[in-house]
Amino acid sequence: MSTMTQPPKDKLLGDLKSLITDAEELLKLTADQKGEQLGDLRARIGQRMAVAKERLTDAEGAIVDSGKKAVRVTDDYVHENPWQSLGVAAGVAFLLGLLVSRR
């Protein structure tokens, strides 16, 4: 799936994962640098990265769960109302056909 068709939440999660990876690499590259302030900064960044990873994992799980719930609700509705679902799908297809034919 291209990045242009991904939902904004998925793109945000991907961007955050990239940021975390880059920050971890930066911490590794500066590990041999000396100085008390630099050490404190690395420690704070390391702690914040751990918290960010945990929150990112939680957010990703919540997004997956809400997606699964939406799929279940839609599936239940379609099974309970097959003719209405078919009518709605036909109506949407008709409207899309009209829009495409006007171009």
Return all residues near 17 (Cβ < 8 A) that are at least 6 apart. Answer: 56
Quote the pLDDT of residue 75. Answer: 92
Mean pLDDT of the chain: 81
Return all residues near 11 (Cβ < 8 A) that are at least 6 apart. Answer: 3
How big is the CA angle at 91 (ends 87 and 96), to the nearest 5 degrees? 150
Quote the pLDDT of residue 1. Answer: 42
Show the low-confidence residues of the chain (pLDDT under 50): 1-5
Which string of DSSP letters, residue by residue, matches 23-44? HHHHHHHTTT---HHHHHHHHH
Parse the chain into domains and list their residue ranges.
Answer: 8-101
For residue 95, what are its two tokens? 């409207």
For residue 93, what are its two tokens? 């297809």
